[in-house]
Structure 1
Amino acid sequence: MSSAKYAASDTALLLVDPYNDFLSEGGKLWPPVKESAEAQNLVPNMKSVVAAVRAAGIRVFYVPHHRAEPGDMDHWQCATPYQQSAAKIQVFGKDTWGGEWHPDFVPQDGDIIAKEHWASSGFANTDLDILLRQHGIRKVIIIGLLANTCIETTAKFAMELGYQVTLITDATAAFSKEAMHAAHHINGPTYASAILSTSALLHALK
């Protein structure tokens, strides 16, 4: 699946949740993601992808998770246990180091930051779809965290909305090998137009 073509005029990179809490030593979610991230060479591969798409003139869209604030889910009627757990430990806390961009992924001039998503989809209850459409985007390359939650759900939603989806297997990570396998080998082929390694994407961008 390496014959895809990526024109700057209709392609975007979706950079999902590049926060310190996920990607940095000391981050609240770094311990459970560390093994997978290091096995995938995650941060260097993400850096390579971002640099390559910028060099190709492809626009970068940030797809950020909600930055937690104390009590912001206290009266929710349908918050999942997963959401409640994240709220309890204040993952990606607003105005905290963990809720800041990892230093290698700070937005640059021309990048677009979508509204924060509350659950797994970068499209649900945000402005991501209209931002992409207003920039003429038809194809999305998706990297970031986590492979089987926000990446997969955002990518599936993108496909349902009519976008052509490319997944990058080693520019994401998860909390287990099983989750990575399911995301790329079981679920990914049912909705993605291309499933590539970082090196294959870089070759395609040339």
Structure 2
Amino acid sequence: MDLTPDTALIVIDVQQGFDDPGWGPRDNPDAEANIGRLVDAWSAAGRPIVLVRHDSREAGSTLAPGAPGNALKAVVADAPHDLFVTKHVNSAFYGQPDLHGWLSERGIRSLVVCGIQTNMCVETTARMAGNLGYEVALPIDATHTFDLEGPGGERIAAADLARATAVNLHGGGFAEVVATSDLIRVVA
């Protein structure tokens, strides 16, 4: 995998509210450690880092501004970053300040997207980035999600949802799905 020196690391919604047991069973207990490894590598290499926080507008949400769960997890809370985006929808490209504008002003065309939830905000942001013409890498082991119930009460396990996201993004041409260790080797 080739990364340009200005490849930006986009860290999505690594927030304390996702530790609430109400979300249900999750996959990938190593996600936060891998996110931390990526942040450390990007920081050491002087590459751009963008932190994104979901500011929910749903009443009673653990991710609502002012709620303890809105805060970033310790692994990224004090991370150096070049831009901090807040959003209230799935895509970081619909947040403030304008992520696409910021990247475009700097000529950044290559992104690594990681964070929480794999099949929600991470996948949506990666898809949109691909649609906008960015080269996107998604380290699937630096994401996690939760079991999800769909129509008719059908429940899909978090690990299956993550696999589906990997296939959708990689097979659909939106992103190259990789492992954290592959990116660390390229950045170091």
TM-score in terms of structure 2 length: 0.84
> 1:192 matched to which residue of 2?
174
Write out per-residue CA displacement over residues 114-155 of structure 1, whole angstroms, 9 at most, x where no aligned residue: 2x2222111125411111112221100000011111111101
Q: 1:47 to 1:91 in 2, by over 3 A?
A: same
Deviation at residue 11 of structure 1 after TM alignment? 0.9
Q: Which amino acid aligns with 1:119?
A: V
Aligned-partner Cα distance in 2 for 1:189–1:59: 27
Q: 1:45 to 1:201 in 2, by over 3 A?
A: same
Q: 1:189 to 1:204 in 2, by over 3 A?
A: farther
Write out per-residue CA displacement over residues 2-58 of structure 1, whole angstroms, 9 at most, x where no aligned residue: xx22233x3100000011012x4xx365x525x3031xx111111111111111111
Out of 6, 14, 27, the position equivalent to 1:36 is 27
Q: 1:43 to 1:108 in 2, by over 3 A?
A: closer
Q: 1:125 to 1:18 in 2, by over 3 A?
A: closer
Aligned-partner Cα distance in 1 for 2:128–2:121: 10
Unaligned 5+ runs, structure 2? 147-157
Q: Contact 1:167–1:192 at 8 Å: present in 2 too?
A: no
Out of 6, 11, 18, the position equivalent to 2:3 is 6
SS of structure 1 residue aligned to 2:65: coil
Q: Contact 1:17–1:65 at 8 Å: present in 2 too?
A: yes
Aligned residue pairs total 176
Aligned-partner Cα distance in 2 for 1:192–1:203: 22
Q: Contact 2:53–2:72 at 8 Å: present in 1 too?
A: no
Write out per-residue CA displacement over residues 130-181 of structure 1, whole angstroms, 9 at most, x where no aligned residue: 1111222110000001111111110111111111100001000111122111
Q: 1:92 to 1:196 in 2, by over 3 A?
A: same
RMSD in angstroms over aligned alpha carbons?
1.9
Out of 55, 58, 61, the position equivalent to 1:66 is 55
Out of 23, 28, 39, the position equivalent to 1:50 is 39
> 1:120 matched to which residue of 2?
90
Q: Which amino acid aligns with 1:201?
A: L
Deviation at residue 90 of structure 1 after TM alignment? 1.3
> 1:16 matched to which residue of 2?
12
> 2:116 matched to which residue of 1?
145
Q: 1:178 to 1:198 in 2, by over 3 A?
A: same
> 2:141 matched to which residue of 1?
170
> 1:74 matched to which residue of 2?
none
Q: Which amino acid aligns with 1:50?
A: V
Q: Which amino acid aligns with 2:46?
A: G
Deviation at residue 108 of structure 1 after TM alignment? 4.2
Deviation at residue 88 of structure 1 after TM alignment? 4.1
TM-score in terms of structure 1 length: 0.78
Map 1:103-118 → 2, pairs under 5 A: 103-114=74-85, 116-118=86-88
